[in-house]
Amino acid sequence: MNTRHITLNVNGTDHAIEVEPRRTLADTLRDQCGLTGTHLGCEHGVCGACTIIVDDAPVRACLMFGVQAEGRLIRTVEGLADGQTLSPLQQSFWDNHGLQCGFCTPGFLMLATWLLERETMIDEAELRHVLSSNLCRCTGYQNILKAVREAAKGLGKWTESAPA
């Protein structure tokens, strides 16, 4: 089998691993790095369950190959909490019942983490626009939107009117 030895930096930790070039980044994180928090819901880039952050941009981990991520800074759901202490966004998901089965949750958390880290203010239209990237089958999105909205308010990133 044609494999490569690469090192991936995930959540600040280096993982020296061996992968086939065809292995997606999502599968690489799960199988080679043991980080199973990144879930696979469709493997063709529509559902967003595998959304992670690579070099400060949200990406579908099923649409990159593991070998492409060498030298990049990868962030996954496992890197959000500080030990048992949830990030403000995770806490907001908990407080606002932003998850039911929990399968799509890591993807939404990473997408929204990126959204909240941007410098721009967020309004309802932008929130819905960005969150429409990912599919959830349980919540009807109501409490996911609410969780991110409340987290944005807590971080001083929320605006009721459209940004200029």
Partner 1 sequence: MKWSGQRLPRLEDPALLRGEGSFTADIAIGARCVRFVRSPYASGRIVSIKPPPDMPAGTLLVTGRDVAQLGAIRPTLARFNYAAIGQPVLPLERVHFVGQAIAAVVAATPELAEDLADLVMVDIDPEAAVVDLDAAIAPGAPVLHAESPGNVLVEGKLRQPACDEAFAGATHIEELGLRSRRQNATPMEARGGCASFDRATGRVRLTASCQMPHMLRTGIATVLDMPEADLQVIAPDVGGGFGQKMALFPEYPLLVWLARRHRGSFAWIEDRNENLIASAHSRDQRHVIRGAFDADGTLRALDVDILSNVGAFSCYPITCGVEPLMALAEYPGPYKVPAYAARARGITTNTCPMAPYRGVSRPIITFGIERLMERAAQALGVDPIALRRRNLVSSFPYRTATGMTLDAASYIEAMDLAAAAADLPGFRERQAVARRAGRYLGIGFSVFNERTGYGTPAFAARSMGIVPGYEVVDIAMTPAGEVEARIGASPHGQGLRTTLAQLIADRLGMAPAQVRIVHGDTDRTPYGWGSFASRGMVIAGGACQIAADKLAERLRQAAAVVLQASAETIVLRDGQAFAGDASVPIAELARLAHQRSDIFGTPDGEGRFNLAETASYDPGGTFSNACHVAEVEVDAETGHVRIERYVVVEDAGRLINPMIADGQVHGGVAQGIASALFEEIIYAEDGNILTGSLADYLPPTAAEIPVIEIIHLETISDASITGAKGLGEGGSIGAPAAIANAISDALAPFGVDITELPATPARIRALLRGREPRA
Partner 2 sequence: MKPAAFDYYAPLTTEAALALLAEHGEEGKILAGGQSLVPTMAFRLARPATLIDINRIASLDFCRADDEVLRIGALTRHARFETPFLPGPLGALLADVAHNIAHTPIRSRGTFCGSLAHADPASEWCCTALTLGATMVVANHVSERRVAVADWFQSLFTTALQPDELLTEARLPLRDESWRYGFYEFNRRAGDFALAMSVVALRLEGGVVREAQIGLGGVGTTPILAKDAAAALIGQAPGEAAWGIAAELAATCFEPTEDINASPEYRRDLVRAVTKRALRKAVA
Residues at the interface with partner 2 (CB under 8 A): 2, 4, 20-22, 24, 27, 43-45, 48, 51, 57-60, 62-65, 67-68, 111, 114, 129-130, 132-134
Residue of the chain from 8, 51, 58, 106 that contacts partner 1 (CB under 8 A) = 106
Query: Is residue 22 close enough to count as binding partner 1 by CB under 8 A?
Result: yes
Q: Mark residues 26-65: x for contact with partner 1 by CB under 8 A, - for none.
A: -x--xx--xxxxxxxxxxx-xx-x----------------
Strand 73-75 and strand 4-10: the pairing is: parallel
Nearest 10 degrees: Cα torsion 11, 133, 148, 121:
90
Stretch that binds partner 1, among 67-75, 94-102, 112-120, 149-157 (CB under 8 A): 94-102
Q: Which of 16, 69, 2, 7 is nearest to 38 (CA)?
A: 69
Contact 110, 53 (CB under 8 A): yes
Residue 4 belongs to what H/E stretch? Answer: strand 4-10
Q: Which of 128, 134, 129, 109 is nearest to 48 (CA)?
A: 134
Give me the residues that bind partner 1 (CB under 8 A), please. Answer: 1, 20, 22-23, 27, 30-31, 34-44, 46-47, 49, 76-78, 80-81, 84, 86, 90, 93-95, 97, 99-106, 109, 128-129, 131-145
